[in-house]
Amino acid sequence: MPAYSEKVMDHFMNPRNVGEIEDADGIGEEGNPVCGDLMTFYIKVNDNRLSDVKFKTFGCGAAIAVSSIVSEMAIGKTLEEARKITPAVVAKELGGLPKNKNHCSNLGAQALNRAIDNYLEKQGIKVKTRRRREDEDE
């Protein structure tokens, strides 16, 4: 069993912002077929800010903790600020993740970015497809 920080354990045992936003402005999904983790993020946007962020995650404790911390970090941020929530920022905020769980921090940041992309596309804003390498920011 990998050693998790207290913050990871807290977000795993008491995840924040779990659920679905029925009338979400943007929805983003990211998964890893190798480990089976799947994250879906739902966002509400008011005046270019994320007024609400919820998630549903199927996965390990690290995946749940990552989803929880990403949702907390994103609420209240502008879309531009939320884009700066990278996998490295997520892992650091959680006090680090075991090497074999770093991919979980990638999924959280990517799912949030997909939700933002989805929102922008609904607004008629062209979004450049940004495909990340799995090992980016590790």
pLDDT tens track for 81-129: 999 999 999 999 999 998 888 888 899 999 999 999 999 999 999 887 6
**Domain membership of residue 23 as a residue range:** 6-122
Q: Is residue 138 part of a domain?
A: no
Per-residue pLDDT, 130? 59
pTM listed for this prediction: 0.89
Q: Is residue 48 part of a domain?
A: yes
Q: What are the catalytic residues? A: 35, 104
Side chain identity at residue 125, one-letter code: I
Other Cβ atoms within 10 Å of 64 Cβ, number:
23
Retrieve residue 74's tokens. Answer: 């994103």
138 confidence band (pLDDT: 50, 70, 90): very low
Per-residue pLDDT, 33? 83
CB 38 within 8 A of CB 57: yes
Stretch (H or E) spanning 32? none
Assign residue 79 the CATH number of its domain.
3.90.1010.10
Q: Is residue 109 part of a domain?
A: yes
2 confidence band (pLDDT: 50, 70, 90): low
Q: Is residue 21 part of a domain?
A: yes
Number of domains into which the chain is organized: 1
Per-residue pLDDT, 137? 41
Q: Is residue 74 part of a domain?
A: yes
Q: Is residue 128 part of a domain?
A: no
CB 106 within 8 A of CB 132: yes
Q: Is residue 130 part of a domain?
A: no
Q: Is residue 136 part of a domain?
A: no
Write the pLDDT tens digit of every residue in 32-64.
888 889 999 999 999 999 999 999 999 999 999
